Amino acid sequence: MNDKFKTTIKAAYLGYVVQAVVNNFVPLLFVQMQSEFGIPLGKITLLITFNFGLQLLIDMFSTPFIEKIGYRASMLISNASVILGLVLLTILPGKFMSPFAGILISVCIYAVGGGLQEVLVSPIVEACPAENKETQMSLLHSAYCWGHMAVVLLSTAFFAMAGIANWRVLAILWCVVPAADFVLFTYVPIARLEENTDENIGLKELVSQGIFWLMFLMMFAAGASEQAVSQWSSAFAEKGLGVSKTLGDLMGPMLFAFCMAVSRTIYGLKGHKLNLRVFMGISTGLCIISYLVIVFVPNPMIALLGCGLAGFSVGIFWPGTFSTASASVKGRGTLLFALLALAGDLGCSGGPTIAGSVASLCGDNMRAGIGAAVMFPLIMGLGLLIQRGRKNG
């Protein structure tokens, strides 16, 4: 890689840590907000819907805006939005008759930043002059997993030492991450995908390609495969092992995130020696096995280990599909990455929803929900087979 772009790559990695703060810090405060502001927990959890819903809208409609002002200005706006949202989170709940309104405004502001990060960081890394783009993309997406773990572990440590009542202090401290990323993106060199290709095409031509829709479906399956298990893992730990909510979060989602980070890091470091399609195929098989372990093995500890295996196996799905799409779809510009991010986010939303609906229909049987969700890694496997057929044909 051109040495001057190494700092750009690091700044992009930090961008995914910023998104990890956006998505995972406030949910740690839900119980505290319930007791401090007297807001029903069911109403507070709507913040998740608003956060990801707004990020979906950013995925859909931000491309013309980004193309007009450029990657650098967009990244600066993104980080500034996250900083502003976190700061307002410490102020606005006490300034409104309804504290929930203040919290919601803050969440919406930093969700704009999170959505822009997701659309921007992948094309920024893809545009950097470097070999082994697949490994760079895998390391990039591992940064989100490591960031997720850091948010949970450091926040838990802070609450243990300073008390959760001082959460406003921690919110300000987490502003250091987007602030550092803001500074980096004021000066790092940024290449444009359009500078590296003659395939600058519009939406109509992009969506007219069959390979685009195959990649879109695989991205949906990637997000759904990931979140269908991730959202259940805490409940498995709590109900199956009889541990507390805190310990359940550490044993469930943390185990899942750790295993996913390890998978992405391994491919990021050794991927130049591996075949991406083969690695994704093996991972698909492991993912299906992990789902079956969760569904059919009655021992809760083994089922929890199945959640960890699921995290490891889905690790390559998202970055691998990004890299495959960039290499195979005509028109690998910002619009392509925005639409792929949209597909992934739809999967992240749809996977847990389908699993939860089936579980509810089966008398709140979580294993039945995961059993239904096995369709998602199967879709990923089917997509890989179709892609292989296209290559061979």
- Model pLDDT for residues 298-309, shown as the tens digit of each residue: 887 888 888 889
**Between residues 291 and 246, the one the model is more confident about:** 291
Instruction: Report all structural domains of the chain as residue ranges with CATH numbers, in order of start.
Output: 1-194 (1.20.1250.20), 197-393 (1.20.1250.20)
Burial track 49-79 (b if 16+ CB lie within 10 A, e otherwise): eebbbbbbebbeebbeebbeeebbebbbbbb
- Using one digit for the tens of pLDDT, what is the confidence trace for 331-386? 767 788 888 988 988 888 788 878 878 877 888 777 888 899 999 999 999 999 99
State the first-to-last Cα distance of the chain, in angstroms, to the nearest integer.
33
Neighbours of 96 (CB within 10 A): 13
Overall average pLDDT of the 232-241 stretch: 65
Pair of tokens at residue 199: 């395939």
- Helix ranges (H only) for 62-186 are 63-69, 71-89, 99-127, 133-162, 167-174, 176-184
Q: What is the mean pLDDT of residues 237-248?
A: 65
pLDDT band with cut points at 50, 70 and 90 for residue 235: low
CB 261 within 8 A of CB 142: yes
Report the predicted TM-score, pTM, of the whole model to 2 decimal places.
Answer: 0.80
- Longest Cα separation, the chain: 64
Percent with pLDDT over 70 in the chain: 90
pLDDT at 200 exceeding the cut of 60 = no
Separation between Cα atoms, residue 391 and residue 212, nearest integer Å: 15
Q: Are 263 and 283 in contact (CB under 8 A)?
A: yes
Dist. CA 79–CA 355, nearest whole Å: 34
Closest by CA to 261, choosing from 138, 83, 134, 363, is 138
Window from 34-48, 135-149, 258-272 with minimum mean pLDDT: 34-48
Q: 12-26, 53-67, 146-160, 327-341: which range is least confident on average?
A: 327-341
What's the pLDDT at 248? 67
pLDDT at 72 over 60: yes
Query: CA angle 41-105-168, nearest 5°?
Result: 70
**DSSP secondary-structure letter at 211?**
H
Range 221-227 average pLDDT: 90
Say which range, 79-83, 233-237, 286-290, 330-334, has the weakest mean pLDDT: 233-237
The Cα–Cα gap between 194 and 200 comes to: 6
What percentage of residues in the chain have a pLDDT greater than 90?
Answer: 40
What pLDDT shows up at residue 333?
74
- Do the Cβ atoms of 66 and 119 come closer than 8 Å? yes
